[in-house]
RNA sequence: GCGCCCGUAGCUCAGCUGGAUAGAGCAGCGGACUUCUAAUCCGCGGGUCGGCGGUUCGACUCCGCCCGGGCGCUCCA
């Protein structure tokens, strides 16, 4: 139900208490517990219920059921909102709303359109979400794809919830993994030239490295000469450029666009400045020839090295600098999305953000768990070392962008995700994505058929009173929970509720569709049902937009 | 050894800051197309919520201890 209706009910309940107190039916106390109206799980308990009487039992010194009965009896009339109240169980007050309460929802959706469900939760605060940020040493894989989906969907949800959102990708284009990449390409190049060379354990074994070597050679024939430092540098830069370009392209085809691609290399001397800044604040010290950050002061279980004995800054030092850079850009909140292998890293980075002078909670790190691919009832074996990973590109080609995104958004981000490739490929009812999309297409079809017959959505006031059957009201009730749902997703930073709701809404509509006709009824009935169908269409389309999948008009 | 995540129906998973008889999808079985798309709908079965204690009117949910699975505990990134 809508927030307005909830607030109205809570207000009436409090009035009821004061009325009862005036009549001497209940003792008067000054401190009242907060009224919480919760959705009921079962219809027989009404549309919503409150445990307020149970909370009042102690302060009033009366049995909760008696309080509940008194409150229910004294409920003032709430112009057309409430049908009746009941007292049940240990002292719940159950509210049964009148149809008019649900018709309000429809009016709202008609007025607000795709803005239905928008909120001011974020108060215009600037939020940056950094995600994927994979090493630029190979194509993006399925775990990156999951992170990409979660990050992108969360960004859309946050935007709808009143945040100003920027999406950013951090390119780790510096460090030993880049050296390894350059060497790996060089080995493959030497192989192409028929010379002796072998990959080391830390090198990249994937097929794409051979491709890179081939492309580099055709681009720069001088590479066929004796190996040189210059040639080596060319190879590393060439590979890096190609890989990053490939990642950008894959993500774009996956529907994920970043506002900023931030190069680690570009931090340059900011790293030293950041270390100096921390030193000046007294958060660093020297030990064993290294410079340490006193992260234990901020709850870390050990201090961390910023500058190695040999004078090179650690990756951590660069990361602290990067986060200082982000904060200097004026963001109010930072969200990082990482894989589970980085979780030991969270405390020290949060410590750094606090050391830089920002309150706890400025940085939140979300971990997205691993993905298992299943095909033909069997797990698809993947090995990073051997370079046998299913890439994001493969996934897009295999199951399509929409199915991949929907499936990645479907599970709680903290749970391992089993991705059934066969199911994702299916274009039948078993596939939840098609189930949802079909509901949308069906409604579009009704609207088209209506338009052909000269029946259009009325722009003015609609008489909703024909919408009174149980299934119809159920559909309306579900629609009215959408704003709460979006807020829940935003607050908990959990996108998966969205897919579940989409399935529920599609299911409710399919049921409605089977039971009732929209077109061909008496004009008032047809008009009212057309409004309802269109409202469902709008909400489904909005969910698809948030998920980044297509809401098809035909199927 | 320490820390984090997970353990719910045959399978994959929900379960909203503690609420009433724990839900959905898939798989299984049985029905429904002369009507706006049957890519759909309706019905049926299925559970010691990993285990044991604790907190309270009430626990899948909170706390403690175990069991099982995953991951992390570098002057690597």
What percent of the residues of chain A are helix, what percent strand, and what percent coil, each to the nearest 5? 55, 15, 35
Measured in degrees and rounded to the nearest 5, phi and psi for residue A366 equal -105, 130
- How many Å from the CA of A377 to C1' of B65? 38
- Domain check: are A109 and A81 in the same one? no
**pLDDT tens figures, A409-423:** 999 888 888 898 888
Reading the block at residue A153, the tokens are 């969907």
Residue A56 lies in a domain: yes
- Domain check: are A441 and A528 in the same one? yes
Residue A86 lies in a domain: yes
**pLDDT tens figures, A380-412:** 877 655 556 688 999 999 899 999 999 999 998
Q: How many CB atoms lie within 10 A of CB A311?
A: 9
Q: How many domains does chain A have?
A: 3
Q: How many CB atoms lie within 10 A of CB A379?
A: 11
Q: Which nucleotide, over all strands, has the C1' atom closest to the CA of A290?
A: B75
Contact between the CB of A446 and strand B at under 7 Å? yes
What burial class does residue A142 get, using C-beta atoms within 10 Å of its C-beta: 0-12 exposed, 13-18 middle, 19+ buried? Answer: buried
Contact between the CB of A518 and strand B at under 7 Å? yes
Q: CA A38 to CA A48: how far, in whole Å? A: 5
Cβ-Cβ contacts under 8 Å for A253 (sequence gap 6 or more): A393, A396, A401
Q: Of A221, A252, A283, which residue constitutes the final position of a domain? A: A252
- How many Å from the CA of A504 to C1' of B23? 12
Residue A327 lies in a domain: no
Question: Domain residues for A450?
Answer: 103-120+430-547
Q: Of A222, A252, A282, which residue constitutes the final position of a domain? A: A252
- Domain check: are A88 and A115 in the same one? no
- Domain check: are A23 and A91 in the same one? yes
Cβ-Cβ contacts under 8 Å for A76 (sequence gap 6 or more): A12, A15, A16, A19
- Domain check: are A523 and A443 in the same one? yes
Residue A302 lies in a domain: no
pLDDT score at A150: 94
Cβ-Cβ contacts under 8 Å for A379 (sequence gap 6 or more): A372, A373
Reading the block at residue A470, the tokens are 């149980």
ipTM comes to: 0.94
- Which residues, in sequence order, are bridge partners of residue A128? A166, A334
pLDDT score at A78: 73
- Domain check: are A466 and A525 in the same one? yes
Contact between the CB of A497 and strand B at under 7 Å? yes
pLDDT score at A136: 93
- How many Å from the CA of A147 to C1' of B1? 32
Contact between the CB of A89 and strand B at under 7 Å? yes
Contact between the CB of A513 and strand B at under 7 Å? yes
Residue A55 lies in a domain: yes
Taking C1' of B69 and every protein CA, the nearest residue is A416
Q: CA A466 to CA A526: how far, in whole Å? A: 9
Q: Which nucleotide, over all strands, has the C1' atom closest to the CA of A429?
A: B39
- Domain check: are A51 and A107 in the same one? no
The segments of chain A whose pLDDT lies below 50 read none
What is the domain-level CATH number for residue A534?
A: 1.10.730.10
Protein-nucleic contacts, chain A 353-382 to strand B, CB < 7 Å: 367, 369-370
What is the domain-level CATH number for residue A42?
A: 3.30.1360.70
- Domain check: are A543 and A434 in the same one? yes
- Domain check: are A75 and A109 in the same one? no
Residue A20 lies in a domain: yes
- Domain check: are A40 and A110 in the same one? no
Residue that has been written with the tokens 């929970």 in this structure: A481
Relative to beta strand A417-420, strand A260-263 is unpaired
Residue A270 lies in a domain: no
Q: Of A252, A287, A311, which residue constitutes the final position of a domain? A: A252
Instruction: Compute and round to an integer the Cα radius of gyration of chain A.
Output: 30
- How many Å from the CA of A369 to C1' of B6? 10
Q: Which nucleotide, over all strands, has the C1' atom closest to the CA of A419?
A: B12
pLDDT score at A299: 85
- Domain check: are A112 and A72 in the same one? no
Protein-nucleic contacts, chain A 257-316 to strand B, CB < 7 Å: 287-290, 301, 305, 308-310, 312, 314-316
Residue A148 lies in a domain: no
Please, how many CA atoms are within 13 Å of residue A423, restricted to the half-sphere of its CB?
Answer: 15
Q: How many CB atoms lie within 10 A of CB A344?
A: 8
What burial class does residue A317 get, using C-beta atoms within 10 Å of its C-beta: 0-12 exposed, 13-18 middle, 19+ buried? Answer: buried
- Domain check: are A185 and A232 in the same one? yes
């Amino acid at each position: 139900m809508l927030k307005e209706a909830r607030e109205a009910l809570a207000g009436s309940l409090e009035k009821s208490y004061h009325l009862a107190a005036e009549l001497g039916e209940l003792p008067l106390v000054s401190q009242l517990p907060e009224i919480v109206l919760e959705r009921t799980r079962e219809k027989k308990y009404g549309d919503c219920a409150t445990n307020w009487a149970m909370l009042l039992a102690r302060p009033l010194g009366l049995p909760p059921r008696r309080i509940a009965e008194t409150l229910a009896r004294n409920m003032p009339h709430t112009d057309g909102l409430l049908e009746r109240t009941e007292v049940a169980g240990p002292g719940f007050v159950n509210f049964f709303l009148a149809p008019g309460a649900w018709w309000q929802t429809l009016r709202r959706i008609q007025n607000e359109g795709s803005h239905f469900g928008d909120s001011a939760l974020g108060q215009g605060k600037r939020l940056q979400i950094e995600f994927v940020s994979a090493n630029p040493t190979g194509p993006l894989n399925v775990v990156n794809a999951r992170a990409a989906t979660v990050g992108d969907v969360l960004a859309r949800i946050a935007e709808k919830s009143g945040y100003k959102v920027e999406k950013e990708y951090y390119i780790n284009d510096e460090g030993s993994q880049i050296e390894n990449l350059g060497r790996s390409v060089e080995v493959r190049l030497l192989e192409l030239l028929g010379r002796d060379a072998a990959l080391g354990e830390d090198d990249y074994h994937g097929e794409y490295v051979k491709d890179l070597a081939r492309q580099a050679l055709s681009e720069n024939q001088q590479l066929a000469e004796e190996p040189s430092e210059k040639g080596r540098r060319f190879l590393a830069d060439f590979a890096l450029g190609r890989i990053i370009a490939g990642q950008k392209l894959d993500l774009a085809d996956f529907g994920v666009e970043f506002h900023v691609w931030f190069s680690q290399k570009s931090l340059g001397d900011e790293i030293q400045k950041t270390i100096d800044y921390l030193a000046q604040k007294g958060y660093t010290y020297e030990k064993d020839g290294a410079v340490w950050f006193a992260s234990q002061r901020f709850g870390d279980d050990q201090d961390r090295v910023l500058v190695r004995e040999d004078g090179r800054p650690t990756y951590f030092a660069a990361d602290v600098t990067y986060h200082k850079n982000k904060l200097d850009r004026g963001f109010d909140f930072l969200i990082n999305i990482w894989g589970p292998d980085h979780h030991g890293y969270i405390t020290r980075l949060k410590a750094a953000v606090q050391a830089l002078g920002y309150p706890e909670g400025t940085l939140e790190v979300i971990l997205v768990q691993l993905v298992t691919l299943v095909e033909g009832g069997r797990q698809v074996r993947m090995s990073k070392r051997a370079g046998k990973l299913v890439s994001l590109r493969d996934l897009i080609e295999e199951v399509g962008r929409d199915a991949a995104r929907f499936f990645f958004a479907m599970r709680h981000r903290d749970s391992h995700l089993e991705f059934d490739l066969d199911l994702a490929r299916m274009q039948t009812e078993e596939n939840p994505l098609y189930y949802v999309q079909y509901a949308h297409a069906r409604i579009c079809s009704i609207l088209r058929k209506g338009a052909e017959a000269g029946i259009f959505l009325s722009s003015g006031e609609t008489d909703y009173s024909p919408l009174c059957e149980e299934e119809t009201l159920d559909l309306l009730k579900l629609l009215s929970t959408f704003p709460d749902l979006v807020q829940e997703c935003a607050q908990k930073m959990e996108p998966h509720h969205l897919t579940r709701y989409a399935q529920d809404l599609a299911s409710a509509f399919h049921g409605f569709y089977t039971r009732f006709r929209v077109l061909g009824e008496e004009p008032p009935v047809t008009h009212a049902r057309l409004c309802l169908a269109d409202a469902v269409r709008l909400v489904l389309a909005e969910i698809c937009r948030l998920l980044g999948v297509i809401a098809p008009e035909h199927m």
